Amino acid sequence: MKFLGTFSLPGDKSIAHRALIVCSWYKGNHSIKNFPKNEDVLTTLEALKLNGLKYVFDNNSIHIDSTKFDFKESEINCNSSGTSARLLCGYLAGASIKTKIFGSDSLTMRPMDRICNPLNEFGAKIKSSNGFLPIHINYSSNRKSFKYDLKIPSAQIKASLIFYAMFMNGRSSITGSIYTRDHLEKLLRYVNYPIKQKESAIHIKGCDRISKNLNLELCGDISSASFMIAGAVLLKDSAIKIKKVCFNNYRLGFFDKLIAMGANISFSNERYICGERVADIEAKYSPNLKGIKITLNDVPSIIDEIPILSIVALYTKGITVIEGVNELKIKESNRVEAIIHNAIKMGGSIKYKDNSLQINPKNKLYNATIDTFNDHRIFMTFFIANLVAGNKLNFNLKDNSYKKSFIEFFDILKEISK
């Protein structure tokens, strides 16, 4: 089997969440082209619908009417979407709307105090269940701007605080670990919202909501691209081109590490779409890969791609070490355990030690039935791993966890598999 062809991907999931909330902020009639209909993004959409947002789908676009959007008391089911829960928490706390946010069992295991604590520090009134869901947002009369030194390099925390600041009087500032994916900052600047970044600080001016129509387009999801690119790099005689992929500086770690391993990857046709840099990406079979060391500072830019990068590392010459992986333990599953468990089932050698993954490509991989732990990235990672290993797949295709982020996963695989 090999991967061949040129194709595009649905819009980036991270940007889509933010674009929906921004469209609700501006009262008007909006459109978003290349809108992804994965379960996570639809969770945010349905939460906004509870507050009066109306929408219709038109092929791969969504048309939104937010003219009657108004915050109201509600109970919001965020299902398994951590992005929905954390971004909406900041947004609704800023609006000071009494809200209960809850979710699935897996989401209930993910920490929310990293969002709730700073928001409460700046005047919000949020109660959590010992730092986890469900959380209850209550009315607060606070409208004071704030300054916050961000300790955890998390784009979700940063975006939540930005949404909160949009409701405050005056100018709020966020400093510290702000150098993470900056989709919200770029989008707000694109629609001329008063947000600026000077040196090591983001400054957000609180504003009244106004009437404005937005016409947006989303670039292809870079995390979804990683699975197809990994397959192309590992499958003999493969050559693919993915058009109009998100090329955000804080999302390029996966490509940087593959290239450092010796992967045949190139970029072309760089341009901007709605403030985001995009590019066409080509990937070809790369038979001479080598192991590398990935440091703690590298992890924020590859956090979603570490599972599939681990599979590539099992086909290199030499050991790969990925430091600083503990954040993977609090994703949809404990991804550290899930990676090791499934790699061992396939005959691979991956160990965890001192907050690091140690990947030794000493063994040939074989097909195996995979335990996905209901985690979309584990499902897609080891589906690709089984394709590369060859022979008959043993997946239980009743497992639909991939739909959380990439509903078109199988459609595109069928298109490019030769």
**Given 40, 221, 304, 375, which residue is catalytic?**
304
Tokens of 69: 């959007």
Assign 375 to helix, strand or coil: coil
User: Considering only CA atoms, which of 155, 212, 188 is closest in space to residue 13?
Assistant: 155
Token pair 């940087």 in the structure block, residue: 256
10 Å Cβ neighbour count for 130? 7
- Rounded Cα distance between 274 and 363, Å, is 46
- Rounded Cα distance between 34 and 61, Å, is 6
Report CA dihedral (224, 85, 183, 281) to the nearest 10 degrees: 0
**113 — alpha (psi -120 to 50), left (phi > 0) or beta?**
alpha
- Rounded Cα distance between 34 and 243, Å, is 13
Task: Respond yes or no: is residue 304 known to be catalytic.
Answer: yes
User: Considering only CA atoms, which of 114, 146, 159 is closest in space to residue 250?
Assistant: 159
User: Considering only CA atoms, which of 210, 189, 115 is closest in space to residue 155?
Assistant: 115
Assign 327 to helix, strand or coil: helix
- Rounded Cα distance between 114 and 59, Å, is 37
Give the active site residues. Answer: 304
